[in-house]
Amino acid sequence: MPNREVATIQDLKALEGQEVAVGDWFEITQERVNQFADATEDHQWIHVDVERCKTESPFKTTIAHGFLTLSLLPGLTQKTFQIQQKFGMAINYGLNKVRFMNPVRVGSRIRPRMTILEVAPIPGGWQNRWQVTIEIEGQEKPACIAETIGRVYEKAPQ
């Protein structure tokens, strides 16, 4: 069950410019980092070499890939916020801006903080633009701030 729901896309539009939801904490494990390294062929030691990081890394532990944090956005945000209205299809349309501001140490917990920036009609549906801030538990500075764009369609486009 998401932390917050609205009934319709029009209800979401009424919230433009407002923070609409904050997600639950989600732990970043070494297993997840290793799986991401395998999937992306990015085995840089700061992500996967626990022993080397203890002595050579300024973080004293492994850190998550920035793109791992970014790749978790769809799942984290879907668990955090939903529109009850049924759509034929929803897609990630892209990103306008992404910044990785603070490394996510393995064993840390992160969560999304979601602000709806804009809801605009498009042919057959709606485009929504969000600011998603990924917070790190116990840290003042967030891991990531991303401006994401999603689209929902009444029916799947032909």
pLDDT above 80 for 52: yes
Tokens of 146: 């991303």
Q: Which CATH superfamily is domain 4-28+64-153 in?
A: Hotdog Thioesterase (3.10.129.10)
- Of the pLDDT bands very low, low, confident and very high (cuts 50, 70, 90), residue 86 is very high
CA-based end-to-end distance of the chain: 31
How many whole angstroms separate alpha carbon 149 and alpha carbon 140?
Answer: 26
Average pLDDT over residues 144-155: 96
pTM above 0.85, yes or no: yes
Express as a percent the part of the chain with pLDDT over 90: 95
So where are the chain's domains?
A: 4-28+64-153
How many whole angstroms separate alpha carbon 156 and alpha carbon 138?
Answer: 42
